[in-house]
Structure 1
Amino acid sequence: MSREAANALIEKQPQGLTRQCDASRYCAPLKTPTAMVKDLKSNARTLEPFVSDIAIRHPLTPSQLSSLKKTMLYEESTHPSEVPSKDGDTNAMDVDDPVAPTIQVKQHLSEAAILASLFGWSLVPPSTSATNRRPMHLFTKRESALLQCELCQRRVGLWAFTPLKPEESASPSGAGAANGSEGSTQPSSSPTRPKKPLPQRQFDLLKEHRSYCPYVVKSTILPTISTSSDPKTRLSRSSSSLSHRNVATASGPMEGWRAVLSVVLPFGMAQRQKTEYDVFGQNDANTGEASEQSQEADNVRDMVAGVKEHGGRELLKYVKGLLG
């Protein structure tokens, strides 16, 4: 195509535009809280062997990071990975065989893997020439691993962020090693100095995205939740209101990573509080007011832990002290 034809096509293209692309095309994809937590967890498992010892830079506050790790840990404990049985013909209804505890089968996820998954980074799939059925991390070398963002098509090589190790001291020469004790008694003519570890480059999870990436641009809008008269619905919303305010205080467009975080954190807090409050029974009239403050929620968690450790007598003493 000649330059004149290309210019004519460019001038003709705006005239054929009738409407702009739907705004959802420029937003970070949002799913249900359960599905989003599972996707983040699955992606973090794939990233774990490659980013576990990489220095990470992120904009999360310590409280947000702690809540995110607790959410991922809770989802891991409630959905343990399946362990294949040694005997294929074992009856599933046989209750005599001991069941392996969940803590032995779940995989530990590093902070770097969880954060990289939150900010939309995933491992670049291998080329089509790799036709084996092994998992991705078994045939992808760490020295050649690439991370990508599927929204802005940004790719980053992990070899630029791997920790650099100082070179080992020079080994004895071949002649000295062959002579044995005679070579070892001779003093070294050029003593080597221990080298300091080289500084490690940090991987900025936010700035490595392109400037127009939905994870960086404020273009994602959270879906609104309609009001409901059901007390259980009000309880679920009130239990997650604190985390929601910590992540996003405005209802307008926000960055993609904030939108994902605002969906994941309330889900984790609501699930944890639901499990812990069941110890004392449900109280629809009072629990909504008590869950407005995170400090009160921490007191309830401490109380539950104390009852499990010391028994019910300490709880009775505490209640009698409150009643005077």
Structure 2
Amino acid sequence: MKSSNQNIPIHFPNGIELFIKRDDLLHPVISGNKFRKLKYNLAEAKRLGYKKLLTFGGAFSNHIVAVAGAGKEFGFETIGIIRGEELRDKIGENSSLQFAQEHGMQFQFTDRTNYRDKTSTEFLLKLQEIFGSFYLIPEGGTNEWAIKGCEEILTAEDKIEFSHICCAVGTAGTLSGIINSSNENQQIIGFSSLKGSFLSEVICNFAQQKNWSVIESYHFGGYGKVTDELICFMNAFYDKYQVPLDPIYTGKMMFGILDLIEQNYFPPHSKILAIHTGGLQGITGINQRLQAKNKEILHYNG
């Protein structure tokens, strides 16, 4: 397992420095926050004697790919409940689903209406009738075991060295873990990749400290949405720093960090650590969508 802060900081006026923790390098398949979230869930599933893992995800889900890879590596059967019945006959056209299938994941496709009921007791009982006993991992992986894993993202040095920790936010598990393990003098900033202001309530259920905020201005239209401006920014960032970002989470976060630096949001001499949470495997799917619309694509692969 490896993860490192980028050796050379990015310097800005007023003495501000930005470092990137490359948690995307933790594992070739179970990268970034997915590795952190699954670590203790897999241990708990094994302790309880489960042989099957069941979880949920969409077309190009990083979580589905990670669970399939983890199942293959650690000896679990895996089941993916996939949002969108239309994907049933398009597995060969979808790099994420194809990877998961090749790594042994069994799929059940469901329409979007039923998918919204995935946490209901009735829905889960029906799944037990179909698949038998399984260890349930929520969509996105966030639960108490995931929080425990994400509390290990910051090292002892990180808690001393950096004034601000920045992280992209989806289900809020990663940010909650970082908050719990941070130094109370640090400012923890989440960059939401979704529309809406419900994340703060979720974080309050998991995080004990109050040294955090969620910025909701850089979602670029909502979860899974990208714009020409975002893609252009990500290509320019890669050309300049040779750090690949993903368009769902880290690209939006990095755009937000640099924009806020330009707006003098951070005090002089701030030392900022941005967490690269992975998700690069989804680039192939995003590029397929962009190509179909004759849009600029990302110039690098996941």
- The TM-score normalised by the length of structure 1 is 0.28
Structure possessing the higher radius of gyration over alpha carbons:
1
The structure richer in strand per residue is 2
